[in-house]
Amino acid sequence: MPFAFWKKTGDALSKTRAYFSSGLEALFSRKKDIDAETLDDLEALLIGADLGVAVTRRLIGDLKTSVERKEVSDLPALKAKLRETLLEILSKAVAPSEAVWPPVVTLFMGVNGVGKTTSIGKMAWQLKSEGKKVLLAAADTFRAGAARQLSIWGERVGAEVIRHQGEADPSAVAYDAVSAALARKADHLLIDTAGRLQTKHNLMEELKKMSRVISKQIPQAPHRKILVLDATTGQNALSQTEHFQKAASLTGIVLTKLDGTGKGGIVVPIVESLSVPVLHVGVGEGMKDLIPFDAEAFVSGLLGDEAQA
């Protein structure tokens, strides 16, 4: 993992780190060894960083055993134990690695305002800089201005945008976009969809319809179904993942706005309870601010350890 990724992940986690690792240091500034009170305070700290109740209980349970066995007695040992358990959890879910014949079709979904369109723009830029031919589809036909927002990204990164005029059916846009991607021999087609609440049944059904329509032209497509989550939403991100997972069998998550939260720990319960891998994290609003998720860099950032090359 190049140094830049470590640095960006570390920078993006600065708020989480300020909360979490400073909290850890504070626990040990009063006393040197670990007792029941330390573990209670640590439990509150973990919950506060959005690691969720189930993961926190497991971590605290493991630590209690290690303390009783005298394997863990000071801050460095406690951090090492936390690191080990967090990495174990985060390595559980892995991205699909099977080869896909181009065009690779990726459907982006998520609730309103989480950063779907921006993440598509960033991903298109990344793929373009790897020399790929990229097409974008404006299948958010709900919000006025959505297609325009995607077109601006298209111009910025040099990717053609397939859009319909006026009130269009998202599935029709998706269908045309797949035809265009095949005709132009594109490597990637990234499809933007409208923000939708996970509890709105008909909108979730619309996502299924889009998938069916896309698969009429390319049987395995959409090859990637990405849920975009906003790291600042906290525990509701879990409910979102659960509902979208049911509707679309997700292949991965893009977690945005990690730069704007002190609660970056939400990654952990998502992977732990739903086994959906976090593939990328958004660390700002610019086109270079989407970076591949790296569990080691993430855990180091969380625990406040030095970035490593």
Sheet containing 188-193, strands listed edge to edge, beginning at the edge strand earlier in sequence: 160-162, 134-139, 188-193, 104-109, 224-230, 252-256, 278-282, 290-292
* 9 contacts Mg ion (rule: CB under 5 A): no
- Nearest partner of 143 among 167, 120, 121, 109, judged by Cα: 167
For ligand GTP, give the closer residue by CB, 56 or 240.
240
CB-based burial label for 180 (10 Å; 0-12, 13-18, 19+): middle
Q: Does 117 bind ligand GTP (CB under 6 A)?
A: yes
89-99-124-1 Cα dihedral, nearest 10 degrees: 50
**Residue nearer to Mg ion on the CB measure, 72 or 237:** 237
Angle among Cα 298, 304, 309 to the nearest 5 degrees reads 60
Using CB distances below 5 to 8 A depending on partner kind, what does residue 285 bind out of Mg ion, ligand GTP, none?
A: ligand GTP
| Segment interacting with Mg ion, rule: CB under 5 A, options 43-51, 52-60, 110-118, 217-225 | 110-118
Segment lying near ligand GTP (by CB under 6 A), choices 33-41, 88-96, 127-135, 139-147: 139-147
Q: How far is the CB of 228 from ligand GTP (least distance, A)?
A: 6
Q: Which one of the spans 22-30, 76-84, 96-104, 114-122 is the region binding ligand GTP (CB under 6 A)?
A: 114-122
Angle of CA points 42, 48, 51, to nearest 5°: 85
117 binds Mg ion (CB under 5 A): yes
* 118 binds ligand GTP per the rule CB under 6 A: yes
Tokens of 258: 């990690």
Cα angle 291, 296, 301 (rounded to 5 degrees) comes to 75
Euclidean distance between CA atoms 10 and 309, whole angstroms: 12
State which residue has the least CB distance to Mg ion.
Answer: 117
Work out the end-to-end distance of the chain between its first and last CA atoms, rounded to an integer number of angstroms: 7
Which is closer to ligand GTP, CB of 85 or CB of 198? 198
Q: Applying CB under 5 A, does 119 fall inside the site for Mg ion? A: no
Show contacts with ligand GTP in window 221-280 (CB under 6 A). Answer: 256-257, 259-260
Binding residues (CB under 6 A) for ligand GTP: these are 110, 112-118, 140, 143, 146, 195, 256-257, 259-260, 282-285, 289
Binding residues (CB under 5 A) for Mg ion: these are 116-117
